[in-house]
Amino acid sequence: MNTPIALITGASRGLGFALAEALAPEYHVVAVARTVGALEELDDAIKAKGGEATLAPMDVSDAKAMAHLCRSVHDRWGGIDLWAHTAIHSAQLTPAAHIDAKDWKNSVQTNIAAMGHLIPYIAPLLGSEGTALFFDDPKGGEKFYGQYGPTKTAQIALARTWAAETEKTGPRVRILAPRPMATGLRNRFHPGENRDALAHPRDEAQRLLALLDPAREA
């Protein structure tokens, strides 16, 4: 296959869905998410553009499942060209003293602990020429963001470490800053917000990808 491969972790909704849709049909998309129905909707959207996708319904925090996927990707294609990581657990905002133990565990597992196997598994697939994308959302230290803020901040801190380590050797690790978007995550945090003032995920996906390839900006 001469078509480049894009791995999207967290592809079932929001920015992940929009990125996967925007990359097709230029890329063959390997779409990872827990929600089968949403992945099937993404597959339909990609096929409507003349593209192809491989659906991987799994949880990124499941190290064994991700190891199996990465081995399968290696055996089938030899590697990937792009990894965009948008998977996130977004518990409702709450005072620090009222943090729910289950939500805290899920936030830690998905937002930061999963990075401990995702980077080691996916880095060999990217090689020295691939690109890894992470998306910053600096909420650490803000009130009521006690679950999401620290774990998202830790995720980006690890991505910055990886970026510094690979600056001269590759893969290229980029940390991009999305504008506030009309997504389910944003609605969970701000349910009464005027969504008309927010960016659409499809528009934001195009803008972010244009930062990597200005030819997309048109």
> Could you give the CA distance from residue 35 to residue 54 in angstroms, rounded to a whole number?
14
Q: Which helix (H) or strand (E) holds 185?
A: helix 184-189
- 85 - beta bridge partners? 9
Domains along the chain with CATH numbers: 5-217 (3.40.50.720)
> Could you give the CA distance from residue 53 to residue 103 in angstroms, rounded to a whole number?
31
Instruction: Return phi, psi of residue 52, to 5°.
Output: -135, 150
Torsion of CA 184, 188, 193, 198, to 10 degrees: -30
Say which residue the tokens 């960016």 belong to: 199
User: Digits of tens for pLDDT over the chain (218 positions)?
Assistant: 589 999 999 999 999 999 999 999 999 999 999 999 999 999 999 999 999 999 999 999 999 999 999 999 999 999 999 999 999 998 889 999 999 999 999 999 999 999 999 999 999 999 999 999 999 999 999 999 999 999 999 999 999 999 999 999 999 999 999 999 988 878 878 888 888 889 999 999 999 999 987 666 54
